[in-house]
Structure 1
Amino acid sequence: MAFNIVAVVQAGRLSYEALLLAASLRASAPGFQGKLFLAEPGGPLWPQDPRLTNPALRAALEGLGATFLPFQNCVFGASYPHGNKIEALLALPDEPFLFLDTDTLVTGDLAAVPFDFARPSASMRREGTWPTVPLYSTHEAIWGALYARFGLDIAPTLDLSEPADHWRRFLYFNAGWFFHASPKAFGERFLTIARTIRDDTPPELAAQELFPWLDQIALPLVVQSFGGGRPGPELAGLDGDVTCHYRSLPLLYARESDRAVEVLEEVASQKELRRLLRDHEPARELIYKNRGRKIREMFDRADLPRREQAIRARIREAGLWLR
């Protein structure tokens, strides 16, 4: 089934990440038949215009097949930039879509992934970042209150192979990728749920930090409401051999596959991209000055620290953390 890809682009770091995303899509998935939409936020909720104004970057992205998609932030804006991925969905053509964060590389044939767009899912490459359970509560009480608020059944979402009240027992995604058949229906529900959690927070969440986790709090509820759930083995290529959500270039060099590094350096070596990416300090230092290879030598990919925070700390100690 043909589908579109959407990512959010803004001036600064996201524009350079989008350049790598678009170039890797063209290089690794030449059979992809959909459109790559780069959604640009705007409107009065931004004190400064967030749009990409660099004409050379815009021309390069369009040359790689990207279509810019302007949209207005009506609910979140600069107060919660993660909300861009929610509000952007409403501007898309109402056709099957895959959302990708811009800090993603396509490393394999994305067109060959057998998506079932009627059953949405999202990335399981996450840590137990939310909730932080106080002594008087439980994961079950917090998540249960959310499902009850929106008239949803929590029981089908539980992974009963995990211990009682362990965070992995409950449906929790990384919002780096997700998909569905209708961006309009999915986006409207995502927006309603996220806004309700923000503006009419259930009392069981009174002690919880909602930011920056709000999109990841709402996403499981949206997915479950459309009959979706955890990704099956047919989607293993996402966060696997087909896509790599690397988060930052230092983390890419530290922990991602040899294939991800190969794709990164291959597309970044293209003359036109190299000229543009040299203006982005992390790319200039880590790719073109080979300092990323120094990071790579610091870590054993078969025996990485369990927590991302520990990887970041080691890179910072070496003076190589560039964002």
Structure 2
Amino acid sequence: MAVVQAGRLQYEAILLAASLRHTNPDFKGRLLLAEPQLNHRWDTNPSVVNPEVRACLEMLGAEFVPFKNQVFGAGYPYGNKIEALGALPKGEPFLFLDTDTLITGDLSKVPFDFDRPTASMKREGTWPTIELYGPGYSAIWKSLYDKFGLDFESSLDLSQPDEYWQRYLYFNAGFFYHRCPHEFGARFLKFARQIRDDGPDEIVCQVLKPWLDQIALPLVVHSFNGGRQPDVSGPMDHDVTCHYRVLPLLYARERDHVVDVLEEVSAPNKIKKVLKQYEPMRRIIFQGKGRKARAIFDRDNLPRREQAIRNQLKRNKLWLR
């Protein structure tokens, strides 16, 4: 399941669907695209109204699943991945993927245990931001676990030093899974709303946008007896999927196989003509800007922080999204 809506995400969804069909030709599951509907939570229609995009996605086997935002919307579109879960079939195992993801390997080889969820470990220490005289990582995270009656100590990675961000359970929300989208979604929504509306004193000075989904996610995962699952997150983060975020970053830092999959699945004329409607994809994939970005970087010696890669792409006028 992924969330699809007008704009960039609808074109990313085409690449996601095409890469799934390309790398997993025997896939027996369903590809559900949750689509927010226009209501009071949106200033403009978030639905996919482009008939060519819809036809392309349906040609690739995707099924549109409409849902209405009751809590989030234009003010926090990342909340779509939370509210959309309630529109999926109840009691059926699901795998959520962000649309800016390519399937690059065999999903059947990943040992998913849908009773013990996990999520992407391809992340940086983006939250919380520690103030000089404010509470530290332990105090902040413990306050959240305590709020929801969860055991904090069992969530810690004791191989990491105290007050180092990787000691604390923190995910990128680019993928996650569970045995039931309704169970997971209801708890995800409850935790996210309470963190936003009635958070503990320790997070009063913390910025919640755009991190709210990633703050709530580890608490939800832990509450369902999940946690770090390197046998799942390892292949999902590095071999079987690629959460590329934006195409210039994909060309700058990902391995050759990822670029090959991207260019192969976007090449058929029925797909290419739709993707070309979106200017960044037209320029990056089909007019060679991506290959120019790739030539700038040494994949064996990349800058340690993503921001440095972004800055270099911007200096070369290759930051297109």
The TM tier, using the shorter chain, reads over 0.9
| Structure 2 match to 1:82 | 78
Asked whether 1:251 is paired with 2:246, we answer no
Match of residue 45 from structure 2: 49
Residue of structure 1 in register with 2:23 after alignment: 28
Partner of 1:260: 258
Which region of structure 1 is more displaced relative to structure 2, 174-183 or 37-46? Answer: 37-46
Over the aligned positions, Cα root-mean-square deviation in angstroms equals 0.8
> Match of 2:237, SS?
coil
SS at match of 1:79: coil
- Counterpart CA distance in 1 for 2:79 and 2:159 is 32
Matched length = 318
Inter-partner Cα distance in structure 2 for 1:181 and 1:255: 33
Asked if residue 130 in structure 1 is aligned to residue 127 in structure 2, the reply is yes
Counterparts of 1:215 and 1:224 in 2: how far apart (Å)?
14
User: Partner of 2:97 in structure 1?
Assistant: 100
SS at match of 1:40: strand
Over the matched positions of the two proteins, sequence identity in percent amounts to 62
* Aligned equivalents of 1:40, 1:128: Cα separation in 2: 30
Show structure 1 runs of 4+ deviating over 6 A.
none
Q: 4, 7, 11: which one pairs with 2:6? A: 11
> Does structure 1 conserve the Cα–Cα contact (< 8 Å) formed by 2:111 and 2:231?
no
> Normalised by the size of structure 1, how large is the TM-score?
0.97
Output the CA distance in 2 between the equivalents of 1:142 and 1:19.
39
Which of 266, 273, 280 is the aligned partner of 2:278? 280
| Kept after mapping to 2: 8 A contact 1:114/1:235 | no
- Counting only pairs closer than 5 Å after superposition, residues 1-323 of structure 1 correspond to structure 2 as 6-42=1-37, 43-94=39-90, 95-136=92-133, 137-323=135-321
1:51-85 alpha-carbon deviations (Å, 9 max, x no partner): 00000110110110000000010001111000000
Q: Distance in 1 between matches of 2:173 and 2:148?
A: 20
Separation of aligned partners in 2, 1:231 and 1:46: 37
- State the TM-score, normalized to the length of structure 2: 0.98
Report the more deviating stretch, 110-119 or 187-196. 110-119
Structure 1 unaligned blocks of 5 or more: 1-5
Which residue identity lines up with residue 259 of structure 2 in the other structure? V
Question: Is the 1:14–1:102 contact (alpha carbons within 8 Å) kept by the matching residues of 2?
Answer: yes
1:54 maps to amino acid: N
Question: 1:3: which partner in 2?
Answer: none
Indicate if the aligned counterparts of 2:79 and 2:213 stay in contact, CA closer than 8 A.
Answer: yes
